[in-house]
Amino acid sequence: MGMVFSILLLLSGWFISMAAVADQAELLSVHEVKAGFVYNFLLFTAWPPDQPAANPGELPVCVYARGAVADSLLALNGEPVDRLRIRIVLWPEFPGDCRVVYIGASERPRLPLILPLLAKVPALVIAEEEPEPNNGTIIGLFEENHKIAFVVNLHAMHEHRLLLSSKLLRLARKTIPAAEQ
């Protein structure tokens, strides 16, 4: 009896999913949109000139995230940014070569353990966060009313010796001035 009940539940799941598919077409997954943001951030970032990449011609984007968002970021592999090509590096042990670091929501509790490794690295540190950007990430991405928004921490930007274009800062939901820290 129980098994029959369970199979019925299983099947009803499929019917619901079929009915719901129509809803899906015009919506983009949050992970794809986040990857789009990351790509745009790279276009508006200037790295310190005295820090050439370990591999010429490459822009290493390091990803500390699991699941769908990591998959979406992987799709950026090989995309051009100026004269460089994006290279996605998953879970690097030595983030010293990273020029961009993406920290997913799943790693939020471990943020205090990841950030110290990035202290002297000239990398654009992006994290999925609650609206308030946490200690030390430059850009915080968050979701609000089914849209993605971001905040910029200028203090962290200076710490990592990066420059973000004024256009990026203008579109940020909020910029946290260096003095506030």
Partner 1 sequence: MTPIHRPPKRGIKPLSAGILVVCSWVAAADPAKPITERSLEDLLNLQVFSASKFSQRSIEAPSAVTVITANDIKTYGYRTLGEVLRSIRGLYLSYDRNYQYLGVRGGNRPGDYNSRVLLLIDGFRTNDNVYDMAYIDRSFLLDVDLIDRVEFVPGPGSSLYGSNAFFGVINVITRQGRDIGNGEASGEVAGFDTNKQRFSLGHRFENGFDALVSATRYESSGQDLYYPEYAAPDTRYGRADGLDGERQGSLFARFAHGGWTLQSGLTQRRKDIPTGQYDTVFAASGTRTLDREAYVNLEYQSQLTSSTELSARLFYGQYLFNGSYVYPDFRNHDQTHGQWWGGEVKWFSTMLERQKITFGSEFQLNVHQDQYNYDSWSATGNRVENLDDHRDGDRFGFYLQDEIDIVDGLKLNAGLRHDRYSTFGGTINPRLGLVYQPAPATAVKFIYGTAFRAPNVYELYYWAPGPSGQKPNPHLDPESIQTYELAVESHWAGWLFTGSLFRYEIHDLISQSLDPNDGFLVFRNIGEARIDGVGTEIERAWSNGLRLRGSYSWQYGEDTATGRWLINSPKHLVKLNLSAPLCDERLRLGFENQYTSARKTDNGGEADGYFLSNLTLTAQRLMPGVELSASVYNLFDVRYFDPVDAAHRQDMILQDGRNFRLKLTLRF
C-alpha–C-alpha distance, residues 76 and 93, integer Å: 21
Taking CB under 8 A as the criterion, which residues in 79-118 touch partner 1? 79, 90-91, 93-94, 96, 104-106, 109-114, 116-117
List, in order, residues 6 or more apart from 81 with CB less than 8 Å away: 39, 42, 43, 59
Of the residues 54, 171, 174, 178, which one makes contact with partner 1 according to CB under 8 A: 171
Site string for partner 1, 112-151 (x = CB under 8 A): xxx-xx-xx---------x-x-x--------x--xxxx--
Residues near partner 1 (CB under 8 A), total = 71
**Minimum CB distance to partner 1 smaller for 48 or for 77:** 77
Q: What is the DSSP string of 115-171?
A: GGGGTT---EEEEE-SSSPPTT-SEEEEEETTEEEEEEEHHHHHHTT-EE-HHHHHH
* CB 65, min distance to partner 1, A: 9
C-alpha–C-alpha distance, residues 154 and 77, integer Å: 28
Assess 56 for contact with partner 1 (CB under 8 A).
Answer: no
**Minimum CB distance to partner 1 smaller for 13 or for 48:** 13
**Minimum CB distance to partner 1 smaller for 9 or for 49:** 9
Assess 29 for contact with partner 1 (CB under 8 A).
Answer: yes
C-alpha–C-alpha distance, residues 58 and 81, integer Å: 9
Taking CB under 8 A as the criterion, which residues in 3-22 touch partner 1? 3, 5-7, 9-11, 13-14, 16-18, 20-21
- Measured between its terminal Cα atoms, the distance across the chain in Å is 62
**Minimum CB distance to partner 1 smaller for 48 or for 67:** 67
Find where tokens 């070569």 sit: 97
